[in-house]
Amino acid sequence: MAEPMLAASGLIKRFGGLIATDNVSIDVRPGEIHALIGPNGAGKTTLVSQLTGNMQPDTGTIHFAGRDITHLPMHARVRLGLARSFQITSVLREFTALDNVALAVQAHAGHSFRFLADVRRDESLRGPARRGLEEVGLAARADTPAANLSHGEQRQLEIAMALAGDPRMLLLDEPMAGMGVEESQRMIGFLQGLKDRRGMLLIEHDMDAVFQLADRITVLVYGRAIASGTPAEIRANAEVRQAYLGEGDA
Amino acid sequence: MSLIASLRTPRGLITALLLLVLAVLPLLTQAFDQRYLLSIGTRIVIWAIAAISLNMILGYGGMVSFGHAVFFGIGGYAVGILSHHGVASGFVQWPVAIVAATLWAALVGALSLRTRGLYFIMITLAFAQLVFYVGGGLEAYGADDGLNISRSRFPGLIDMRDKASFYWLCFALLCGTLWFCSRFANARFGLVIRGAKSNELRMMALGFPVFRYRLAAFTLSGAFGGLAGILLANEGAYISPAMMSWVKSGDLIVIVVLGGMGTLFGPLYGTIAFFVLEESLKPLLDLLRKGWGEYWQIVFGPMLVLIALYARGGIDSLFGRRHG
């Protein structure tokens, strides 16, 4: 089995008296989709925030590609190849879809202390951005302001932005949130196609998607990882069934 | 959009006419024998440079700096103090003034940009007030009363005492500032600044060290503000702490908002509107009743409220939709 690319161990995060992350260890191997599930309020987003550098864990360490990144700021982690998409769609609303992806490309194209040349004529940014939009099926909407895209299209744009730097690992925070059945199926197919090239940590409420995509699943309840294993093992796990699947939340 | 194509839009046409009038203003004021108007025109051009520099951070970057007039002061005092000690050459004064403004901007930016929202406004104001009071305490340089200075000398190049030459110098620098702003806003750097205004977290998650770019923008903005200060000191041959009072900082914000935040020409429109209203409301109110002119802002204030309520893009938005 390949070495984990992303490995967090012993993460603890407290907010006052509440333990949002309670001694969680989780890892993702290259070419693997590791899904993180759990009821609302289980601390999934808090955990991802610590992995991306948006929050600092109180204790515990995070390693990525052999480096200790526990104290690296968010932008430095992205530069190392750890990209994320947001649960709540987070695109630059007043910029066009193409501009959004081009900015994502720019983030990985050296420094941006360039004051004179027009970015919109910079093929080294526009070209890869156009291909990125094509890849997620948004090519026709390139010149539409992101604010005018449908919800599903904005989710696709999110993915295109996350993929722009050709990251080695993706943290996907509910990529299918708010999508229709058809859109979801397309996204599932798309993510399956990506998986050979990079590892993914997938947070998702849509259980069909999780069981279709995941190689491993970790179940988070009240900040604790109560189970971790293959989809079949998770399905069979009594504690999980009681705590989560049995609730009919899915 | 090409220059020619932009002339076909109302905005392009108005802007072109405006620039044309500004370009020949000394000829017009001479032809109609209105020297006083040239002095106002010069101040408009200088203030427009300051407003454009504030717009770089406020309009494009969403950084509400409430201390931008401090760069009037730093640019002006650098020129004035050197001039007072016999260093008359603009070749020395101007670089020193720009470097001083740039360094101060870098320092203030490095500290204030760690905060957000109201705290940022307060910290930039506090730093500006600090310099304001230091200026007022400089007994050797006239303290609160200020100091008469001689204008910068550029031997063989330009005579700064000639009103028309000085005006054209200011106008050329305004054009240069506009040119830079038009490039910067659409270059990689400008996109990062504008993106961070729109969604800071997203920009960090894309891999941009946002703080660094904001600091660079703040510093750049201070450098152009310092340039405006140099010109302002030369315009009146006079420096005083009043040129960097918080009221002036407020005026600059009003000008940018009035003209249209984050637009290229908005700050220029705003400056012209501000000065024209000030100069025309005063005598109008004085006509109604002697002494009322002093309270011109009672009329100006409600006009600002109307702009804020009904023309959120400022004057710029009255000229139709923007492209790009």
Task: List strand residue ranges (DSSP E) for chain B, in order.
Answer: 147-148, 238-239
Cβ contact A92–B208 (<8 Å): no
- Chain A neighbors of B201, CB-CB under 8 A: 54, 90
Give the N- to C-terminal CA distance of chain A in Å, as an integer.
31
CATH of domain A6-247: 3.40.50.300
The rounded distance, in Å, linking the Cα atoms of A120 and B183 is: 12
Where do the domains of chain B lie?
3-318
SS3 content of chain B, % helix, strand, coil (to 5): 75, 0, 20
For tokens 């500004």, what's the residue? B22
> Looking at chain B from residue 199 to 258, which residues have their Cβ under 8 Å from any Cβ of chain A?
199, 201-210, 213, 216
The per-residue pLDDT for A250 is 41
Q: What is the mean pLDDT of residues A115-139?
A: 94
- Chain A neighbors of B190, CB-CB under 8 A: 115
The rounded distance, in Å, linking the Cα atoms of B244 and B90 is: 22
The rounded distance, in Å, linking the Cα atoms of B120 and B114 is: 8
Cβ contact B205–A115 (<8 Å): no
Give every CB contact of residue A53 below 8 A, 6+ residues apart in sequence: A69, A72, A73, A74, A76, A77
The per-residue pLDDT for A246 is 58
Cβ contact A107–B209 (<8 Å): no
B183 touches chain A (CB under 8 A): yes
B188 touches chain A (CB under 8 A): yes
- Can you give the three-state secondary structure of B89-138, one letter per residue? EHHHHHHHHHHHHHHHHHHHHHHHCCCCHHHHHHHHHHHHHHHHHHHHHC
Cβ contact B186–A113 (<8 Å): no
Chain A residues within 8 Å of chain B (Cβ atoms): 52, 54, 73-76, 78-79, 83-84, 86, 90-95, 99, 103-104, 106-108, 112-120, 122, 161, 164-165
Cβ contact B207–A99 (<8 Å): no
Per-residue pLDDT of chain B (324 residues; tens, 9 = 90+): 556 666 778 888 999 999 999 999 999 999 999 888 999 999 999 999 999 999 999 999 999 999 999 999 999 999 999 999 999 999 999 999 999 999 999 999 999 999 999 999 999 999 999 999 999 999 999 999 999 999 999 998 999 999 999 999 999 999 999 999 999 999 999 999 999 999 999 999 999 999 999 999 999 999 999 999 999 999 999 999 999 999 999 999 999 999 999 999 999 999 999 999 999 998 999 998 888 888 888 888 888 888 878 888 888 888 876 654
User: Strands A216-221 and A224-229, how do they pair?
Assistant: antiparallel
Across the strands, what pairs with A7?
A27, A63
| CA-based nearest distance A99→chain B, Å | 9
The rounded distance, in Å, linking the Cα atoms of B49 and B69 is: 12
Pair of tokens at residue B240:
């005083």
What is the layout of strands, in order, in the sheet containing A18-28? Answer: A18-28, A6-15, A59-64, A67-68
Cβ contact B205–A78 (<8 Å): yes
The rounded distance, in Å, linking the Cα atoms of B313 and A234 is: 55
Where do the domains of chain A lie?
6-247
Give every CB contact of residue B35 below 8 A, 6+ residues apart in sequence: B29, B163
Cβ contact B187–A117 (<8 Å): yes
Across the A:B interface, residue pairs with CB atoms under 8 Å apart total: 92
Cβ contact A118–B213 (<8 Å): no
Q: What are phi and psi of A122, to 5 degrees?
A: -95, 100
Q: What percent of chain A has pLDDT over 70?
A: 97
The rounded distance, in Å, linking the Cα atoms of B116 and A26 is: 34
The rounded distance, in Å, linking the Cα atoms of A138 and A132 is: 9
Nearest to A112 among B189, B198, B199 (CB): B189
If you write DSSP's letter for every residue of A63-113 in order, what string do you get?
EETTEE-TT--HHHHHHHTEEEE-SS----TTSBHHHHHHHHHHHTSS---
pLDDT bracket for residue A75 (50, 70, 90) = very high
Q: What are phi and psi of B152, to 5 degrees?
A: -60, 145
The per-residue pLDDT for A180 is 85
Cβ contact A103–B191 (<8 Å): yes
The rounded distance, in Å, linking the Cα atoms of A81 and A166 is: 7
**The length of chain A, given as a count of residues:** 250
The per-residue pLDDT for B134 is 96
Cβ contact B188–A112 (<8 Å): yes
Contact A247, A226 (CB under 8 A): no
- Chain B neighbors of A90, CB-CB under 8 A: 199, 201-202, 205
| CA-based nearest distance B303→chain A, Å | 28
B3-318 CATH fold: ABC transporter involved in vitamin B12 uptake, BtuC (1.10.3470)
Q: Name which residue leads in pLDDT, A126 or B2.
A: A126
Q: What are phi and psi of A12, to 5 degrees?
A: -130, 130
The per-residue pLDDT for A176 is 87
